[in-house]
Structure 1
Amino acid sequence: MLESLQKVEKALEFEGLRINDLEQKNKELKSRLGKMEKAYNDLEQRVSNQDREANKAERFSRRNNLRIVGIEESTGDQTEDCVVKVEDILSTKFNMNIKVERAHRDGKKGDKPRHILVKTLSIREKVDIMKKSREALNKEKYYIVDDLTLADLTEKKKYKKQVQDLFMKGTKLRFYAGVWRGDGGVPYFSA
């Protein structure tokens, strides 16, 4: 009996050492996991910052761009000169003599006509066109919109229903620099 008691005692001592060892390893693993979570959160923050900065840079590169939506495409083998087409619209509909730096169709051919992506020579010309577009094109089947980045377009569409409801109630918002803004340029929707 004494012998079996000594065996049990040795087994308990062995298991106690094993438990202490496992607890120590568990502490070390928790410490490593904490460090890894912190590193992951730091990396996630850096990626988020880089995405924001990349979107900002892309937005800056598109600052002179606008899109004309809804103009039918030329059919057949004839190539379409979008620059001439856009400059003609600007002179006839807008009474503006503006030279366009570039203009071309954007996207894949499909059922709907592709947008014409237009690059003006200056931001001022683009703003003048955008300001006059609603009045100048009120009887046309096509319209002009700002050339937004994918991230900005996603953000704009996110609040589309709320913006429409607010407009019907008399609140006018403007989408600028990736954010819906109210009076004084203050962001309207909090993120």
Structure 2
Amino acid sequence: MATARDVQSLRQDLERMFQRQGELERRMESVEGKIQNMETTPLPPKAVSNSINALEQYSRRNSLRIRGIPEVDKETGEMCIHKFVTFCRVKLGLDLQPQCIDRAHRVDTRKENTSRLMLVNFVSWQDRNRVFRARSKLKGKRDEHDRPLLVLADLTRENMAIFSAAFTAKKNGRIKDAWVDANCRIMVTLADKTTKTIDSVDELT
């Protein structure tokens, strides 16, 4: 016989499912609207590229990349989820449940004696944001290979290139600071101490 806890857990699962369905429907409406606008008013190639990049980045809003979780051979998605939940509890002080994670797996090619980044996709943006905001607790902590533990936004290739250029500009003293906010926007503080969002490398010149 189902307990009160089982019923409550089922209700929460259903609520998360309905929330995800609603979010997917809103995304589809947004994409359909953009396609209709493109059909009626052709956009220049750069604008089309920016729109595609923005849509791809939006599709990653519930994801994070984690560096510093030890990897083993034949690691399954379920193993990754439980390792990540443990990482959150031990390193970030967050009590995150496995049910909060949609899926988790390694990315990129594995190199000898290293652990690859773990890509974690959350059921809700709220849980993803809890983890992202707790990343400051990793300051000074290092993994088994003496590399800094990191919680990173899941940026598109184009946005990663923009952030890399911004970070280089910061190291060279051309701007004061560069970071990625909770909404995956690339933020910079200019020499005159003004802060703004940048969408291309050209905005750094």
TM-score range, shorter chain: 0.5 to 0.7
- Report what 1:108 is aligned to: 109
Q: TM-score, normalised by structure 1?
A: 0.63
Q: Does 2:196 match 1:186?
A: yes
Select the residue among 77, 91, 94 that pairs with 1:93. 91
The 10-residue stretch of structure 1 (124-133 or 58-67) with the greater mean CA deviation from structure 2? 124-133
1:161 Cα deviation after fit: 2.2
- C-alpha offsets along residues 115-169 of structure 1, whole Å, 9 cap, x if unaligned? 10001222222222122112146323232111100000011111222223559x9
CA distance in 1, matches of 2:80, 2:129: 20
Contact 1:156 1:178 in 2 (8 A): no
1:78 Cα deviation after fit: 5.9
Question: Unaligned regions of 5+ residues in structure 1, if any?
Answer: 1-42
> The residue matched to 1:159 in structure 2 has which SS?
helix
Contact 2:69 2:83 in 1 (8 A): no
The percentage of aligned residue pairs carrying the same residue is: 19
CA distance in 1, matches of 2:188, 2:49: 22
Contact 2:91 2:137 in 1 (8 A): no
> Greater helix share, 1 or 2?
1
CA distance in 2, matches of 1:116, 1:91: 16
Tell me the number of residue pairs that the alignment of Structure 1 and Structure 2 aligns.
146
Q: Does 2:71 match 1:73?
A: yes
CA distance in 2, matches of 1:57, 1:101: 20
Question: Unaligned regions of 5+ residues in structure 2, if any?
Answer: 1-41, 144-148
Residues 2-41 of structure 1: matches in 2 within 5 Å? none
Contact 1:155 1:178 in 2 (8 A): no
CA distance in 1, matches of 2:160, 2:65: 13
Q: TM-score, normalised by structure 2?
A: 0.59
CA distance in 2, matches of 1:57, 1:91: 32
CA 1:79–1:179 in 2, change beyond 3 Å: closer, same or farther?
closer
Select the residue among 152, 175, 178 that pairs with 2:180. 175
The 10-residue stretch of structure 1 (178-187 or 145-154) with the greater mean CA deviation from structure 2? 178-187
> The residue matched to 1:93 in structure 2 has which SS?
helix
**Bigger radius of gyration:** 1
